[in-house]
């Protein structure tokens, strides 16, 4: 049997996937976790074959956590399972050592196939991810530039102006949690450790311009 854990910050979704995996006789589901903190003991006491991992988990984002568990433990297979994706995030996830990338728009059959494929030593992408990667190859001139949604760009501009998450939430009429999610995603997309790095990279790439 394949030993699996799930790390995802959306609890209702996590509970649903827990039930789904627990019913599959090929899988030995060892646990669901909503955060990347405090679960080293699970890896130390069990042979984890596959980690289903979201990108936007806290306190360590999924991409950095993938690097961490790949080096600290017995190199478990990591299958990213997320609703947040573009060519840059996919690329950084794979560079971090991921064995596959699936979006939450897919069926359970795609998820199950992905788990089995990476256990067989293959790299697996869901069909919608494959389309994004194909588009990337056709537009090499855009390689390396983060693709931002209109909302991400709005949040980025306000972050650079020194606004707090609460101030940004009030300005854009969204929740503070949504702002924090966009902030985390922006740090991943720009490969930035903090707001200073994020600001520098965004201005250097010409994605955001600061007027005097």
Q: What is the pLDDT of residues 84-125, one digit of tens each?
A: 777 788 888 888 889 999 999 999 999 999 999 999 888 899
Q: What is the pLDDT of residues 159-172, one digit of tens each?
A: 887 788 999 999 99
Q: What is the pLDDT of residues 58-70, one digit of tens each?
A: 888 999 999 999 9
- pLDDT of the residue at 212: 44
3-class DSSP assignment, residue 207 = coil
CA distances from 86 to 46, 136, 143, 164, 197 (A): 33, 10, 12, 26, 21
Task: Encode 10-29: b = buried (16+ Cβ within 10 Å), e = exposed.
Answer: eeebbeebbeebeebeebeb
Lowest mean pLDDT among 126-135, 158-167, 169-178: 126-135
- pLDDT of the residue at 135: 67
CA distance 19 to 55: 21
């Amino acid at each position: 049997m394949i030993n699996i854990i799930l790390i995802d910050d959306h609890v209702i979704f996590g509970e649903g996937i827990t039930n789904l995996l627990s019913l599959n006789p090929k899988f030995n589901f060892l646990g669901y976790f909503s955060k990347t903190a405090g679960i080293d003991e699970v890896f130390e006491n069990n042979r984890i074959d596959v980690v289903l991992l979201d990108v936007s988990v806290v306190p360590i984002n999924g991409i950095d956590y993938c690097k961490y568990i790949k080096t600290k433990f017995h190199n478990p297979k990591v299958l990213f399972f997320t609703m947040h994706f573009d060519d840059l995030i996919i690329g950084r996830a794979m560079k971090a050592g991921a064995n596959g990338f699936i979006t939450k728009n897919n069926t359970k059959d795609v998820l199950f196939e992905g788990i089995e494929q990476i256990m067989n030593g293959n790299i697996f992408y869901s069909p919608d991810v494959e389309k994004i990667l194909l588009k990337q190859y056709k537009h090499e001139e855009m390689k390396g530039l983060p693709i931002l949604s209109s909302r991400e760009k709005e949040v980025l501009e306000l972050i650079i102006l020194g606004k707090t998450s609460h101030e940004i939430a009030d300005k854009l009429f969204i929740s503070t949690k949504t702002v924090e999610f966009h902030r985390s995603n922006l740090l991943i997309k720009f490969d930035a450790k903090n707001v200073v790095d994020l600001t520098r990279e965004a201005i250097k790439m010409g994605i955001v311009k600061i007027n005097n």
